[in-house]
Amino acid sequence: MAPRIETVHGDITAEQVDAVVNAANSRLAGGGGVDGAIHRAAGAAELHAACAALGGCPPGEAKATPGFALPARWIIHTVGPVWAGGTRGEPEVLASCYRRSLAVADELGARSVAFPAVSTGVYGYPPDRAAEIAFHTTSTAETDVELVRMVAFDRATHELYLRLGALPG
């Protein structure tokens, strides 16, 4: 069954869900944007140690750690594609990020998951194209997750999700 999809304009680190998705780098080493914010809010030392034990993560895949100091019980780390014009498999890799994150959520028993706009920051994915992939992939997923919340850092991304059919959260 496909999950209910909501969107909010806000801070993913404050979401009251079972799992938050981190737009990570392949070393799972923390960084800027969403990744840095999640590391700081969760407890950088604890999260860094947990991520180091995972041994990295290739683009399109997902791995989980505890949520530590976040309200969410788990953090699902996924590595999105770096935008190179859309001709190097970026749409497929981005869709895989959402599918694999939901599969990991299912393995954990998570029923609510908050996603950032994966790859739209320093990885340069066009927000409108990324939002379409995120919405389509999650809205057609076969998953036990009941609620997907798309957390937009900016109003423009929030509006994209609403236009695609996400419900206001």
Indicate if 106 belongs to the active site. Answer: no
Spatial separation of the C-alpha atoms in residues 116 and 114, rounded to whole Å: 7
Which of these is catalytic: 18, 35, 106, 154? 35
In contact, 98 and 115? CB cutoff 8 Å = yes
Q: Left (φ > 0), alpha (ψ -120 to 50) or beta: where does 154 sit?
A: beta
Structure tokens at 46: 């604890």
79 three-state secondary structure: coil
Backbone angles phi, psi at 33, to 5 degrees: 55, -140
Q: Which two tokens stand for residue 65?
A: 């750690």
Helix (H) or strand (E) holding 113: strand 112-115
Kindly tell me the sign of the dihedral angle through the C-alpha atoms of 99, 81, 117, 72. Answer: positive
Other Cβ atoms less than 10 A from the Cβ of 142: the count is: 10
Catalytic residue list = 35
